[in-house]
Amino acid sequence: MSEDYRAMWESLGLDLEAHDQLLSALGEGYRQVFLSREGRPRGMEYFDFVMSEVHGLRIKELLAAKAEGRKVIGAFCVFVPEELVRATGSELVGLCAGADFAEEEVDRILPRNTCALIKSAFGFKLGRVCPYVESADLVVGENTCDGKKKGYELFAELVPQLYVMDLPQMKSEAGRGLLRAEYRRFQERLQELTGVEITAERLRRGIQVVNRKRRALARLWSLRRHDPAPISGLDALLVSQVSFYDDPERFSGAVEKLCRELEERVRRGQGAAPAGSKRVVISGCPMAVPNWKLPAIVEGAGAVIVGEESCVGERGLRHLVDESPSDRDGLLEAMVERYWQIDCAIFTPNPQRRRGLQRMVADYQAQGVIHYCLQFCQPYQMEAMLVERELEAAGIPLLRVDTDYGQEDVEQLKTRVEAFLEMLG
């Protein structure tokens, strides 16, 4: 950290010793995975800086916003509509859930066979090492799976204010109606919390801010279709991960600048990996900071990841909200339409996700798919069966990987990934 934030962290109630250990491990892991790589785009320096201040400058900014009377909303899921949060002048930040922490304490209140992501969220809170959750005026949960749904009953005992959003499980008119009703309910809760009325003008501005961010990311992803890909999958994943907690307008500007550099790289034929390298799409569960284990193994084996079909990749961040409706209800309906297109594994049946994955393979000229599941994540593990069947019928090679945040299986995963890449020819 570029300045001493210890007084700030102490004021948030963090366990300073445990937090120091976390930052030390994160810093070392980041150096090994990212800073040791040669030939990275210069535009990645911004994102390196963000990560160097991951618990510093951004937290300072959030606390300054709170001092101005604005609110900080913490969330775990892409179904939480950022547009509504921005419409109140509040900040939306993703919460920590990408590594194991306080495992013994977590195991006292959660079953051992709970999904690693859920256990991680509890671990960061119980271990008092996540300044984002400690800064939040409201934590927004969502019942995207049974584990989260029941887990939030326990998480509510750990945070001052928890709001749980009910999400549909089927793509039906009734399901769409539920999503619409839930977004209206969330709108009312935000207005109550902030004292700010969400007018059509405010909502349109929130939509414009978030649309700009998604346009910038879409521009970045489109550049990865080239061979050689001008940016590594690891760096592209990092950009997407940073999008969940950075200031959106500053972030959009940094991504746009990066894209201009990448467009020049494409013109020069300069790639993150040599032309003709094996091209892979990663599909499945989300990867939150600092979950870089599988991508590091894949690209360490000489392949290049050209797309992510996940909540922190194209599936969760694609599509824009129509900005043209003149009234608030019209804009809210446009927002519902945008989020309704997310093909999360919570939906049943979910053929849209499988069709979207096949389109990605074609669009990004990928030679194979690695389907990534966190252990005990039942929606994605079960849906992996259908994904594998359809890709096999389409002649698309697939490797299924079930893992967690630990490092114990790294060598085994390396062997499996290398064999899979060799099979791609």
What is the layout of strands, in order, in the sheet containing 279-284? 304-309, 279-284, 368-374, 398-403
Give the pLDDT mean for 121-136.
Answer: 98
- Report DSSP state, residue 143: -
pLDDT of residue 1: 56
Average pLDDT over residues 321-338: 98
Q: Is the pLDDT of residue 329 over 60?
A: yes
Domain ranges of the chain: 6-201
Q: What are phi and psi of 370, to 5 degrees?
A: -110, 115
Fold assignment, 6-201: Rossmann fold (3.40.50)
Task: Find the mean pLDDT for residues 255-274.
Answer: 97
Q: DSSP characters for 203-267?
A: HHHHHHHHHHHHHHHHHHHHHTTSSS-SS-HHHHHHHHHHTTTS-HHHHHHHHHHHHHHHHHHHH
pLDDT tens string 57-96: 999 999 999 999 999 999 999 999 999 999 999 999 999 9
Which pLDDT score, from 0 to 100, does residue 425 have? 73
